[in-house]
Amino acid sequence: MNSSKFQRFLIKLLVTIAALLIVVKISPWAEVEGPGALIVTALLLGIFNTVLRPLLILLTLPINILSFGLFILVINGLILYIISLLVPGFNLSGFGSAVLTSILVSLTAWAINMLIRDRQ
């Protein structure tokens, strides 16, 4: 891996960690018990979004088409819910909160990325 790709990976990881931390701090339905759980959650979120998400989107393509793409929100929530089951120290109160948390994490990460791009 060259240094440019590694830098992009680190920036994405740090943005995801920051977005998760912000959402966990403001939401009563999500909690993280330490920095280790936060880092592992962010890493798994990146891996699952790279590997599992495209497969799930392909498998649910008819539902995605019928819902005008809104079913992707359910897929994102499912991925985050699975991660909450796998990572000790990262807890969500249920599937609905996983969907809401995934929306908030995505919006927060988008906002952070916009701030970073404006400064470059």
**Which pLDDT tens digit goes with each residue over 33-64?**
999 999 999 999 999 999 999 999 999 999 99
Round to whole Å and give the CA distance between 36 and 2. Answer: 26
Determine contact, residues 45/98, Cβ cutoff 8 Å. Answer: no
Q: How confident is the model at residue 65 (pLDDT cuts 50, 70, 90)?
A: very high
- The reported pLDDT for the residue numbered 111 is 95
Residue 5 pLDDT: 86
pLDDT category at 9 given cuts 50, 70, 90 is confident
pLDDT above 80 for 120: no
* Percentage of the chain lying above the pLDDT 70 cut: 97
Of 38, 7, 13, 27, the C-alpha closest to 109 is 13
Domain ranges of the chain: 31-119
